[in-house]
Amino acid sequence: MRRYKQLLLANKAWVAEHTDENPDFFSRQTVGQKPEFLWIGCSDSRVSPEQMTMTQPGGMFIHRNIANLVNDHDLNLMSVLQYAVDVLKVKHVIVCGHHGCGGIMGTLQGGLDGPVDEWLDTAREVLRDHRDEIDAQPTEEAKVNRFVEVNVRDQLVRLARTKTVQDAFAKGQELALHGWVYDMRDGHIKPLMEIAADTVLDEIGRPDKVLV
């Protein structure tokens, strides 16, 4: 059987499972969404935020891109963020990196071209800012791991500086930013850092290592 047809069969099984448990499951979905979380993660096919957090449909608003980067010139991400914070009133925004990130490895190793190379300019900024610590790691894997962690740190700070988040903080809107790392070696999500309305962004240091 062609593999894409397996996706269609799996969808039918998924529908049957949910409607057997709750006949109104899909009719309720048409009413609207009110997620509590916005997830900004990597496009890597091995990292599925809803699956690994067991979040049901409607519980999480999601944006994914290569290396989970926050670029204020990215209208896609900025639109997602604005809608999530201003309209959906999410209470938590998560930036999640992951062990073995191909975008991070590509940035570290170089040799890229085309749109991916241009996209990773933001990651190269992180590399320049943290090169001393990344280069000081004892192995190539450790260098990638630390790059993943400081990348999450820098993207979370970038996120906190956006107008959408700053306006929400200024209004006293309930909102917290979380930096996480997913470790594919054991399946666990490992919290790295948090930013709240009263966090002094210029005083945020480098996070402790979690990918050990």
The catalytic position among 28, 46, 131, 188 is: 46
Q: Give whole-number Cα distances, 200 to 72, 125, 192, in Å.
A: 20, 21, 17
- Return d(Cα 45, Cα 99) in angstroms, integer: 13
CB 130 within 8 A of CB 147: yes
Q: Is 183 a catalytic residue?
A: no
User: Helix 140-161 to helix 163-171 angle, to the nearest 10 degrees?
Assistant: 60
Q: How far is CA 146 from the centre of its chain?
A: 17
Q: How many CA atoms within 13 Å lie on the side-chain side of 138?
A: 1
Q: Is 96 a catalytic residue?
A: no
Q: Residue 183: enclosing H or E segment and its boundaries?
A: strand 176-183
The catalytic position among 44, 130, 158, 178 is: 44
Burial letters 57-66, b for 16+ CB under 10 A, else e: eeebbbbbbb
**What is the strand order of the sheet 37-42 is part of?**
60-65, 37-42, 92-98, 176-183, 188-195
The catalytic position among 42, 99, 146, 158 is: 42
Q: Is 42 a catalytic residue?
A: yes
CB 116 within 8 A of CB 106: yes
The catalytic position among 96, 101, 153, 154 is: 101
The catalytic position among 63, 96, 98, 154 is: 98
Task: List residues with catalytic annotation.
Answer: 42, 44, 46, 98, 101
